[in-house]
C-alpha cells in the first residue's frame, strides 16, 4: 500500500522566505497549501512554485492574519479540504511602521506574528496529532534578544516602536514553542522554532524611517530568501526531528535563546492570556 500523500500548510508564503519554503517542500514531495491574504498574489505564488518545482500539488488558501475570524476560516478550509496534515509552518509575519490595531482591536504586530499562529496552531492541532508523526515549525528571530514581553499589556504596549513590537512578538514565538512542546509528545507532533538569518526580504521596510532606510540600503548585501528557508525545510524534512522538540535553531542547529525566552513561567502566562484573547 503506497504511503499517504504528505500535506504541508505554509503561512505567509506569497513571497520571501515563505515562498522559498513552499518551493523546497514541494521539491521534497509535499502537497503544499500556500496561505496568504491576497488572492492575486496567492495565485502568482502558486504558479511560481508549481513551475519551479515541477509539481501540480500546490494549492492556495486565503487567510488574513490581522483578523482572528479570517484565521478561523483558514483553519476550517484546510480541515475541510484535507483529512490529514503532516506539517504546519508558521511563517507569516510583519514589522508595522506605525501603531495599528488588528480587526480584533489588538496591536497589529503581536496580533499577526503571535496571536494568529497561536490560534491557527491550536485549531489544527487535533488533525496534526491524527496524522502523526507530524511537525510544527515556527519562524522566530534573533530579534527576540533583549526584547520584553508582558502578556497583560502586549496587545496595547505603552512604549511602542516598530522594532520593540517586532522583538516582543518574536520572543512570544519562542515562548509559545516551549509551552506547546510541553503539551505534546515529540513522537506524535514535534514542534520547534528558528532564526532564519538576516535575509533580504521586504519585512524591514516598515521598521521606521531610519531603520527602514538602513534596511533597504543593506538588502543587496544580505542572504537571499532561499537561504532563509533552509532551517525551516531542514526541520520539516530531517528524518528524525524529535531531538529538536521545543528548541530554537540557528543554521540548522540548536541555539540558546535569551533568558526571557527560556522562562517557562512567562511561557505559561503567555499561553493562558493568548488563549483568552483568541477565545479558545
Active-site annotation, residues: 166
* DSSP code for 101: B
The x, y and z cell numbers of residue 167, run together, are: 522583538
Angle at CA of residue 229, ends 263 and 261, nearest 5°: 5
Provide DSSP, 17-51. HHHHHHHHHHHTT-EEEEEES-HHHHHHHHHHHHH
The x, y and z cell numbers of residue 237, run together, are: 524534512
Q: Cβ atoms within 10 A of the Cβ of 227, count? A: 16
- Burial class for 90, CB neighbours closer than 10 Å (0-12, 13-18, 19+): buried
Give bridge partners of residue 63 from the DSSP assignment: none
The x, y and z cell numbers of residue 63, run together, are: 487567510
Amino acid at each position: 500500500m503506497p504511503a499517504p500523500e504528505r500535506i504541508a500548510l505554509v503561512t505567509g508564503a506569497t513571497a520571501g522566505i515563505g515562498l522559498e519554503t513552499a518551493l523546497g517542500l514541494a521539491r521534497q514531495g509535499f502537497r503544499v497549501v500556500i496561505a496568504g491574504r491576497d488572492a492575486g498574489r496567492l495565485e502568482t505564488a502558486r504558479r511560481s512554485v508549481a513551475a519551479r518545482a515541477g509539481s501540480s500539488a500546490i494549492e492556495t488558501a486565503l487567510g488574513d492574519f490581522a483578523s482572528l475570524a479570517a484565521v478561523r476560516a483558514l483553519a476550517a478550509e484546510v480541515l475541510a479540504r484535507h483529512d490529514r496534515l503532516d506539517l504546519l509552518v508558521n511563517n507569516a509575519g510583519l514589522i508595522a511602521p506605525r501603531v495599528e490595531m488588528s480587526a480584533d482591536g489588538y496591536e497589529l504586530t503581536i496580533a499577526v506574528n503571535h496571536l494568529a499562529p497561536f490560534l491557527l496552531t491550536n485549531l489544527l492541532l487535533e488533525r496534526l496529532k491524527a496524522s502523526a508523526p507530524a511537525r510544527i515549525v515556527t519562524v522566530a528571530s534573533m530579534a527576540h534578544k533583549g526584547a520584553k514581553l508582558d502578556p497583560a499589556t502586549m496587545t496595547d504596549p505603552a512604549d511602542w516602536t516598530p522594532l520593540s513590537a517586532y522583538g516582543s512578538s518574536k520572543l512570544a514565538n519562542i515562548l509559545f514553542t516551549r509551552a506547546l512542546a510541553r503539551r505534546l509528545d515529540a513522537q506524535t507532533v514535534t514542534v520547534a522554532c528558528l532564526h532564519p538569518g538576516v535575509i533580504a526580504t521586504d519585512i524591514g521596510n516598515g521598521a521606521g524611517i531610519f531603520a527602514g532606510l538602513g534596511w533597504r540600503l543593506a538588502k543587496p548585501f544580505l542572504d537571499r530568501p532561499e537561504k532563509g528557508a533552509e532551517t525551516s525545510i531542514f526541520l520539516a524534512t530531517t528524518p528524525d526531528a524529535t531531538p529538536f522538540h521545543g528548541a530554537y535553531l540557528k543554521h540548522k542547529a540548536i541555539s540558546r535563546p535569551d533568558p526571557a525566552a527560556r522562562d517557562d513561567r512567562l511561557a505559561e502566562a503567555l499561553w493562558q492570556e493568548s488563549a483568552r484573547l483568541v477565545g479558545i
